[in-house]
Amino acid sequence: MVKTVRVGVLALQGAFVEHIHMLNTLRGEEHISDVIEVRTKEELASIDALIIPGGESTSIALIAERCGMLESLREFVSTKPTWGTCAGLILMAKQAIHTKKGGQQLLNALPVTVSRNQFGRQVDSFTIKLDSPCLNSLSGVKGSDGTSRQFEYVFIRAPAIVSVDDPEVQPLVTLPPGYGQTDASENGLLVAVRYRNMLGTSFHPELTDDSRWHQYFVRMALGDDV
C-alpha cells in the first residue's frame, strides 16, 4: 500500500489559505491524502504533518493560547513533520530577538535564534531568485533550456536565522552578502534550515506559483530522501 500523508495548515491567523491552495495543486502528483485547516486540538491530532504559516507571530501564539492549543502544538512540533514559514519560523524557534515589548510565546522546538523583522518594514519587502540545491531532486527543477531553475524567494517583513544552536541543524538557503540590517548580513543571512522533523523558512513560497518547497515538505513528511 502506498503511504500517504494528511497535511494540516494552522488557520488561526495569517496566510493559511495560500498554503492550502498550493498543497491542493499537488494532490494529483504527490501522495497527499487530504489537506485541512487546523483550528482545534482535535484537528491537530488528526493530521500527519503541519504547516505554520506567515502572519503575525505574536497574534498566532496568543490565539493558540486562548484556544488551548499551545501545548498541543508544542507536543506536535517536537515529534511530527512541521514547517514554519516566516511567522511560523519565529514561533518554532527556541529563541527570538527584536520581539515586541514583553516578548512572546514560542514553541521552543527549533534550535535556532531568529531575528524578527530582520529586513525592515512592509515597504522593505523584496524578492530574489536563487539557486537552491536542496530542491534539485524535485520535479520541475529544470528550465526549458535544461539548466537548473532558480526559485523566486519572497520576503515580507521577514525574520532571519542569526544563530544555529545545534550541530544537527542543516542550513538550506543563505542570502547573498549585503541583505538585511545587521553586520551578520555581510556574510549572508540564513533563511532556511532543516532539523530532524522540522523545516523552517523565512520566506513566503505560498505567494509564488512554484510548488517546489511544498513538494519538499511533503516528501520530507513521507520520509523520502530529499
User: Per the residue annotation, which of 19, 30, 86, 214 is the catalytic one?
Assistant: 86
Exposure of 141 by Cβ count < 10 A (0-12 exposed, 13-18 middle, 19+ buried)?
middle
| CB of 13 closer than 8 Å to CB of 59 | yes
Active site residue 67: no
**Cα 58 to Cα 103: distance, rounded to the nearest angstrom:** 9
User: Per the residue annotation, which of 18, 30, 206, 214 is the catalytic one?
Assistant: 206
Active site residue 37: no
**Cα 43 to Cα 39: distance, rounded to the nearest angstrom:** 7
To 10 degrees, the CA torsion angle through 131, 89, 77, 59?
Answer: -150
Please, where are the H alpha helices in 52-177?
57-66, 70-79, 87-92
Give the largest Cα separation in the chain, rounded.
52
Active site residues: 86, 204, 206
